[in-house]
A and B are shown apart, each in its own frame.
Chain A
Amino acid sequence: MKKFLSAIVLSALMTLTASADTLKLGVAGPHSGDLASYGIPATRAAALYAKELNAKGGILGMQIEIVQSDDVCKPEIAVNTANKLVSEKVAFVLGHICSGATKAALGTYKDAGIAVMSPSATNPGLTKSGDYPNFFRTIAPDDAQAKLAVDFTTEKLGSKLIAVIHDKGDYGKGFAEFAKKFIEEGGKAKVALFEGVTPGAVDYTAVVQKIKRSKATAVIFGGYHPEASKIITAMKKKKVKAAFVSDDGVKDDTFIKVAGKYSEGGYATGPKDNSANPLNKKAIADHVAAYSEKPGAFYIEAYSAMIAITEAIKAAGSTDYAKVTAALKSNWVETPIGKIKFDERGDAIGAGFSVYQVQNGKYVEVK
């Protein structure tokens, strides 16, 4: 019995000493459920970059330990996810992925004095409201995206009548509302329709017939690829000729894979093409080497966030909240999305969007 007890004490001591030499980084996002394809790439980015740093001796003499927590993209679960990470005493959180879940979780992190960096939550309010000084992101907010989508539709495509459709979610509706606002302010075109569709509904024929009836020459859709692929398929099948312009949630190869030939000619905005950047090439090569497939959505943004976070901790010389956030705002870092630092509100300076079009089964940047 005594031996047994001392073994327990010994092992407890060992874990204590081990934890003193590790730096815990939380990774939160959907790791299961129907939006898992948005969350898994970030966990892989975190794991790969941490492994690389650890092999070089970690940061500030500490090995990085990744703590994953699954929020399935649901705000009501995200709070628990955040509490779990707080109780694990993580130094920084990479995540969350979906805007709604991020917003729900941020308060918990703020109270615990933990900074959060999302590779994908683009809701403008997260930074612009000023409510969350602990929030950073390596992706440009929705309104930047919506502005680009509207400018592109009215100027390049010359559309005068635009139907704005969204999926009623925080992300899609936010994008659509900005698009509507910019169309009305721009004065070059009119909003023909502004409607939300139910995600996961059996079919969208009725709303497509409505688009056709409105005689809109372009559709701007705010939402994710499952609905977008159904809508563009129904549009083509019902011979609606309006152009289809969507957002970053649709700029995912799954959209092309699922909608197939019907996706041809569709537009989507997405982060700038940084494929020529050597850091970017390396990040992708590492992913291919480790998982023998190409990385999914937001992998590069997550990888960039990992670099920004670890560089800031290095520059600050500690994991102290005030020092790390100050370092994020003052130091430029080279990342796969370009050279970035963060503004007062937490948006990345130096990261932006481009318009892409599906051509021959691939997204091609429209110059």
Chain B
Amino acid sequence: MEYFLELFLGGLTRGSIYALIALGYTMVYGIIQLINFAHGEIYMIGAFTALIFASVLSILGWPALAIFVVATAAAVLYSSAYGYTIEKIAYTPLRNAPRLSPLISAIGMSLFLQNYVLLAQTSDFLPFPQLIPDFEFMEPISHIFSSAELAIVLTTVIVMLLLTYYIKFTNMGKAMRATAQDKTMALLIGINVDRVISVTFIIGSSLAALGGVLIANHIGQVNFYIGFIAGIKAFTAAVLGGIGSIPGAVLGALILGWTESFATGYISSDYEDVFAFGLLVLILIFRPAGLLGRSETKKV
């Protein structure tokens, strides 16, 4: 039973990580039907920014928790700026182009950012300091569930609640939903669609950066390439849950995390990806729009 619990919590952590990144994918897709492949790179840039701030601040002798807060804030700000700029440079000029063009632009952006960090920083793996201290009250169960893992799960829950509130009850949230339903109509009733899209990118990038910091803190290393695999997994999670749907992204991410964790624990880690992607295929066969996705009706 303890083993089951360990795997359950491991899957929960992993799923929460995917969820933080998947939210950005799904929000952007929901609004402009674009799969933002550069999203994984934003996650990586977030982790790098936090590392740079953490290194400088730890030389100044700040306490770990203060460093964590400041480094995270810096990562979120910096990544948001990246997200905003990417949208302006790579996607806005292509808004009325065929759907394939922004997709290719996104892949190009992703490669560009990876190589930019490779050249500007390093190709090596860098150690990431442990910024979230091991809390005393977690000590008896730290071999099952560590403080860093608790922080990841809590952050995901809080973020999801805030985001749901934001989208359901604020004016900007309403504008986002309107834009997602019909961009032209939203324009006609006076919604500043450009601004809505920018805000979406900023929120998505902030979440990715948050994820980047938490995960780098958990596994203790960063590299220019980490965004790629995390991005692919999060994208899978978003599709699994129904791309465009916010609760769907979280549900998809958790299911993916648990599938991987239990497949490793009870069968073999060799087949971790086989089960994860096998599940994706099955769900797409029976529910093509994903678990919580709305199937799109084509207007003729």
Contact = CB atoms under 8 A, between A and B. Distances in A.
B223 interface: yes
A259 B220 contact: yes
A201 B11 CA distance: 13
Interface stretch (B24-32, B81-89, B261-269): B261-269
Nearest to A166: B270
Interface stretch (B121-129, B198-206, B243-251, B286-294): B121-129
A269 interface: no
A202 B219 contact: yes
A260 B233 CA distance: 28
A317 interface: no
Nearest to B152: A203
Contact of B265 (A168, A209, A254, A257): A209
B286 to A, nearest CB: 26
B103 to A, nearest CB: 23
A200 interface: yes
A233 B220 contact: yes
Contacts of B233: 202
Interface string B167-200: 0000000000000000000000000000000000
* A interface, size bucket: 35 or more
Grouping DSSP codes into helix (H, G, I), strand (E, B) and loop, the A interface class, with mixed when no group exceeds half, is helix
A225 B125 contact: yes
A37 to B, nearest CB: 5
Interface string B1-23: 00100110011011001100000
Contacts of A281: none
Contact of B270 (A168, A202, A229, A262): A168
Contacts of B269: 195-198, 206-207, 210
Contact of B143 (A200, A202, A238, A254): A238
A196 B274 CA distance: 13
A230 B128 CA distance: 12
Contact of A32 (B118, B223, B270): B118
Contact of B7 (A195, A197, A209, A254): A209
B50 interface: no
A226 B3 CA distance: 26
Contacts of A168: 270
B215 interface: yes
B218 A32 contact: no
B105 interface: no
A168 B268 CA distance: 12
Contact of A226 (B6, B125, B230, B264): B125
